[in-house]
Structure 1
């Protein structure tokens, strides 16, 4: 096993922070890579590889068969695709088996604390810790939109949390997932992560780790494994995002468009799980929000990444840099692995809506912060929706 530590994120002048999730697991990928089952076409289970995906790989001198056979493990700077248009993620069937998913969730090293200065914006007092509570099982009955994102980076297999969101171009048939930018792209010093998948209602029955060691893939992923055939994050995260210092955190969001690994009988992700949350941009200012609920699969100690948790608290404000948008902040004891998980509040129509996602939190795991979703976030969301409109 190869030791992996969580990716880091930043701190303010009053507290040291780290990106709570990309809580990495200590795994060396020794899984056997099998031939890919490309994206299913809408309304069928016929497997085809989109031509644009082949073309993008070819532009970078990447042979698709070699990629699926292990070339994806080459993290040479020239092979690590970086630009927004470079995202490629060919399906490698059965790559994410139960052991690989489970092992991706255990961080094994403490995170170094790192201060940042220049906090001249609006920052409210540090909130009191709110103890994360177990989501009642089965998770699908109580948080059907929630799940886990698995992906590979230069240091090994990693994990985040994510949420199924509505697609305005395909009402009732969304294949869109909301997560953090750092769960799909390494930021200014790297590129797109690889083998990105979404697993809704991971470990739906909340089995302990000891039982999961013998669990089948169907038990761990009862609603299937969905590969990200397209992902988009903010240009600010791509140009500014960093593993330390909190750079780009106010723009740390992403949308993934997914397709089933082995077909879904023509059903979309939303139809498969039975639910998707609306996304509300430019949510009310902090004083007008009574409470936000954050959901995720924390993986850093004392958690092990196998169970779903939630925190509910009235949000405060956190500013990383004065010239950047102020972030939401709530008290919460969730740790690495919960990054990307959705924050839900009462929307303008009185119904639950996604208004943020977990981005950063302190080493001591007492609170979490997430970006306020403004015009940049809406541009990312709309672009993914438009790309697949009519399909």
Structure 2
């Protein structure tokens, strides 16, 4: 059986399951179940496992590469603008698992450990992870401002976050998002750890070229803030790949259909295989939760777990879905995890 909860905090904002589609205002009972881009992992010809990196940019097209740029982004993302950011919502007609077609892992299961925050960081809040936050960005295609969820991911750089592919690139016919920032443990406009700007983004060629939901995953290297790296500040989740599609999971994010996306919510339950080879859980998390982590081995005391998927979409019957974390996702991690 799934359960829901939200953070019980005295903090004083907004988000949504950002998917592709028309920009609209954002929308719980679970059961088991113009920079140069370059291909750096996988087979570019195959596309499915290849991933592509991109230098983060302002809406002017200039790269985010100075302290002045970081300060400008923090000024740009006012509480008012964040509150008005909307989701990119899509409900694909995704079938449930097909009889006799539950795929197995593509290789040997593996894990990367989580990393605690620095010793002087604030203690974790009840039911809310400091290593999860909201993402805000501009879509150059229409100039609109949008929101997703994301989480800090432990790596050699200590600067990486993981989110959905559609939270960094519009997919087939789209482009890379601009003015991209990550706000850990955002709550109703509050930014307890500050605003971290993107430095470099990476997602799969299959997402960029054809909006393939099986590759709706992205990893983003962020700039340090006042000399502090995101994982050292908030802690960072570990990562799992090639595990069974049936797992006890905690999903964290900012669904726009709950508290207007202003508060971090959690849904727990046991996943099942989705019809497209991914994983799913019936949480009915709406726009703004996109990119939020699906965590194995979540620890309420530390607020940390092992990312086994990221929120991708929701069906008309409330089943949330995530791409399966396999060897290709691990290759993306290896390619991006050392970028500083």
TM over 0.5: yes
Deviation, 1:302, is 5.1
**Residue number among 283, 288, 297 corresponding to 1:337 in the alignment:** 288
Aligned twin of 2:107? none
Aligned twin of 1:38? none
**Residue number among 266, 285, 290 corresponding to 2:244 in the alignment:** 285
**Residue number among 253, 256, 276 corresponding to 1:296 in the alignment:** 253
Q: Is the 8 Å Cα contact of residues 19 and 312 (structure 2) preserved in structure 1?
A: no
- Write out the 4+ residue segments of structure 1 that deviate beyond 4 Å after TM superposition: 5-9, 22-26, 111-114, 116-121, 137-141
Q: TM-score, normalised by structure 2?
A: 0.69
Q: Pick the structure with more helix per residue.
A: 1
Q: Secondary structure at the match of 1:185?
A: coil
Aligned twin of 1:305? 261
Coordinate RMSD, CA, aligned: 3.3
Q: TM-score, normalised by structure 1?
A: 0.60
Q: Is the 8 Å Cα contact of residues 165 and 207 (structure 2) preserved in structure 1?
A: yes
1:102 aligns with 2:83: yes
**Does 1 or 2 have the higher relative contact order (CA < 8 Å, sep 6+)?**
2
Which ranges in structure 2 are unaligned for 5 or more consecutive residues? 1-15, 27-33, 38-50, 58-63, 104-122, 299-303
**Residue number among 213, 216, 227 corresponding to 1:252 in the alignment:** 216
Deviation, 1:361, is 0.7
Equivalenced residues, count: 265
1:270 aligns with 2:231: yes
Q: Is the 8 Å Cα contact of residues 25 and 158 (structure 1) preserved in structure 2?
A: no
Deviation, 1:87, is 3.3
Q: Is the 8 Å Cα contact of residues 241 and 327 (structure 2) preserved in structure 1?
A: yes
Instruction: Write out aligned runs for 1:121-132 (5 A).
Output: 122=101
Instruction: Write out aligned runs for 1:77-226 (5 A).
Output: 84-89=52-57, 90=64, 91=69, 92-93=72-73, 94-105=75-86, 115=93, 122=101, 139=125, 142-153=128-139, 154-155=141-142, 156-167=144-155, 169-170=156-157, 174-203=158-187, 220-226=190-196
Q: Pick the structure with more strand per residue.
A: 2
Partner deviation per Cα, 1:333-375 (whole Å, 9 max, x = no partner) = 211100000010139xxx83111111011245x2211111112
Structure possessing the higher radius of gyration over alpha carbons: 1
Q: Distance in 2 between matches of 1:233 and 1:113?
A: 21
Q: CA separation of 1:373/1:152 partners in 2, compared to 1, >3 Å: closer, same or farther? A: same
Q: Distance in 2 between matches of 1:112 and 1:278?
A: 29
